[in-house]
A and B are shown apart, each in its own frame.
Chain A
Amino acid sequence: MKKLFAQSYLWLLLIMLYAPIIIIAIFSFTEAKVLGNWTGFSTQLYENLFAGGVNNALIVAIENTLIIALVAATLSTLLGSVAAIGIHNLRGKRRAVMNSLNNVPMLNPDIITGISLFLLFASLGITQGYTTVILAHVAFCTPYVVLCVMPRLQQMNPNIYEAALDLGATPFQAMRKVIIPEIKAGMISGFILAFTLSIDDFAVTIFTNGTDGLDTLSTYIYADARKGGLTPELRPLSTIIFTVVLLLLIIINIRTYRIQKRKEAKL
């Protein structure tokens, strides 16, 4: 009885959480301008999304989003992994300073990060565009990479690295053959996390994308939604984004599940 009650509460909340997105998905398959009017099944809106001359801006925005996310995630992963190895080998006060500095970007609300970086670029006279957006994304993604890699370093047996050096490996070889394999899983998680954070970002991007009309998916949706409330084309777009995120998360979870299984098998 108690269980039934608990289960129905969860389902009720889930319905509330998912109702909006399901309604959008359903009505992305009809042509009606006003949401809620069903004028028969049609994939017209999906075609408009990708074909229309005006809407080509959308394709450009998607490209921008993916390029920025890829570059920013790659740079964050490199910078964050090197930094994590460095911080792991720091002691005492320096380590505490680095850890709290690393926390600052995560605690700042997006709008503060965005405005502070805007002021930085503006007062240094840097023209805002691709470079500044990527720099800004690296700034708020890297701390998460550091947090993903750190636990791996802590789990690692430090003697293995020393042993490699004793056996005649150069520090570079020891790094490549010993440390990198140990932290690889953390680096991959960090990369995926940075990639998603970058794709998702709106507040930081809008302050750093300059005036040349560099649009990512978020800023495109924002501009579009401001113009006409809810343009019909945003329905298929939201549906696609939702499906892609859903698939990505399922893949990530299967991956984590497998890694865990493998670990258990090893033990």
Chain B
Amino acid sequence: MKWLNKLFTKRSSWSIPYFLFLLFVVVLPLVLICYYSFHDGTTGDFTLKNFEKFVSNHEAANTFIYSIGIALITTILCIVLGYPAAYILSNSSLCRSKIMVILFILPMWINILVRTLATVALFDFMRLPLGEGALIFGMVYNFLPFMIYPIYNTMQKMDHSYIEAAQDLGAGPFTVFRKVVFPLSMPGVMSGIMMVFMPTISTFAIAELLTMNNIKLFGTTIQENINIGMWNYGAALSLIMLVIIFVMEFFSDSDEDRASNEGGII
């Protein structure tokens, strides 16, 4: 009984339940993805068949490359549109109102399907055809706030004495921006890229709704395979996606930023 009491009073042991929980719902499931992707569905033997199928099956590989292309375009458009917005929002001489910031972050909190249906409605309303254009517009529309917010956040935290120092040393507005503001805002841009690029590849359902089922993205391919019971192949495709995330994460190491960014305004 005494050791039990001690275990309870020692507060560091309070992390044990959560540790076990994480092992069960996070680590074990990820191990299962690896296990399934390297095993044959019918015989249960170790195999690389699932990955060979991905490479030789042109449809899945093409969808994969196409998704990366769409995600790149979306990310670039989000940076081009979002960076100036974040700059203006964080610059008190250009924009004083906090309400503006809230208005830009608000769409992050609305269900992604509702937002997608709204895009479909807009295209219907303007009598524009659904297709690739709608897909890219919808993705930018869905993910732009996720680019603006992290950049705004880093710019907000930026030490303004650097800017003043640069001005005192005779730098013009453009040089200040190029040499001081832009480099200092890079961490925000990096986490913005993470929050736009990955979701664009991995979303499913959204692409179908925006293109009347004409265009598939990689997330849809994975979902379809799982749905028709091809768990092993689906797991292999998921693993490929996980590897990409891992690589991107390795180059950006902004995980903590992202965590605080998804917290939105609270």
Contacts and interface: CB of A to CB of B under 8 A. Distances in A.
Interface of A: 2-3, 6-7, 9-10, 13-14, 16-17, 19-21, 23-24, 27, 34-36, 79-80, 82-83, 85-91, 94, 98, 101-113, 115-120, 122-123, 135-136, 138-139, 142-144, 146-148, 171, 189, 192-193, 196, 199-200, 202-203, 207, 217-218, 221-222, 225-226, 229-230, 234-235, 238, 241-242, 245-246, 248-249, 252-253, 256
A105 B208 CA distance: 26
Contacts of B209: 225-226
Contact of B249 (A107, A116, A230): A107
B205 A196 contact: no
Nearest to B120: A230
A193 B204 CA distance: 24
Contact of A10 (B89, B119, B242): B89
Nearest to B116: A225
Residue of B11, B14, B118, B209 with highest tally of chain A CB at under 10 A: B118
B170 to A, nearest CB: 21
B48 interface: no
Interface in B140-194: 141, 144-145
Residue of A86, A91, A115, A246 with highest tally of chain B CB at under 10 A: A115
Contacts of A143: 259
Contacts of B28: 120
Given A109-B198, A218-B111, A122 B25 contact: no
B15 A86 contact: yes
Interface in B97-133: 100, 102-104, 106-107, 109-115, 117-122, 124-125, 127
Contacts of A139: 21, 25-26
B33 to A, nearest CB: 5
A118 B226 contact: yes
Contact of A249 (B10, B12, B102, B242): B102
Contact of B122 (A23, A119, A142): A23
Nearest to A16: B141
A39 B266 CA distance: 41
Interface string B194-219: 00001101111100110010000001
A225 B201 CA distance: 21
Q: Chain A at the B interface: mostly helix, strand, loop or mixed?
A: helix
Contacts of B29: 113, 116-117, 119-120
Nearest to B138: A20
B208 A226 contact: yes
B245 to A, nearest CB: 7
Interface string B68-97: 000000000000010011001101011100
A147 B257 CA distance: 11
B255 to A, nearest CB: 5
A90 B118 contact: no
B14 A238 contact: no
Contacts of A90: 12, 15
Contact of A86 (B13, B89, B245): B13
Nearest to B109: A245
A115 B81 CA distance: 33
A147 B95 contact: no
Contact of A7 (B9, B95, B122): B95
Nearest to B127: A36
Given A20-B115, A24-B118, A89 B11 contact: yes
B12 A103 contact: no
